[in-house]
Amino acid sequence: MAIALWCVLGAGLLPYLGTAFAKWGFKNFDNNNPRQWLANQTGFRARGNAAQANSFEAFPLFAAGVFTAIITEAPQGAVNCLACIFVLVRILFIVCYVTDKSALRSVFWTVGIACAVGLFVVSGLYIH
C-alpha cells in the first residue's frame, strides 16, 4: 500500500505546481497582497492559478479514496494502479491547463475523478 500513500503525498503537493506556473517570473509580484495579484493575472499565470485551485479541490476525494481502500483492505495492486494513474493524469491536467488545451484537460480531469471514484468502488467490493 506504500505506493498509494506516496501518491497521496504527491497529489497533496501537486497544487504547488500550479502555483509555480501562476507565479512564474514574479512579474510585479505583490507579496503584501498575493491573492489580489493572482486574481489580476491573465494568460498562463491565470490558468496556473486555476489549476492550483482545481488541484486543491480534487485532492480530498482522492485522499479519502486511498484511505478508504487501505481501511477496507482492497487489493493493493488495484489501489496502487488507480493512485498512480490519478497522479499522472493530474500532472497532465495541470500542464494542459497552463498550456490552454481545454479539451484534453477535460479528458484528464475526467480520468482523475474516475480513478478517485474507482478507489471507493474497489473498496466497496472488498469490505470484510
Per residue in 84-105, pLDDT (tens digit) is 999 999 999 999 999 999 999 9
Q: Which CATH number applies to 2-125: 1.20.120.550, 1.20.210.10, 3.20.20.70, 2.40.420.20?
A: 1.20.120.550
| pLDDT tens column, 55-74 | 999 999 999 999 999 999 99
Please give the backbone phi and psi of residue 31, each rounded to the nearest 5 degrees, phi first. Answer: -70, -15
Instruction: Give the Cα separation of 86 and 90 in Å (integer).
Output: 6
Q: Would you give the distance in Å from CA 64 to the centre of its chain?
A: 13
The three-class DSSP label of residue 115 is: helix
Residue ranges of domains in the chain: 2-125
Is residue 9 over pLDDT 70?
Answer: yes
On the question of pLDDT at 107 being above 90, the answer is yes
Please tell me the pTM assigned to this model: 0.91
Q: Are 70 and 1 in contact (CB under 8 A)?
A: yes
- Mean residue pLDDT of the chain comes to 92
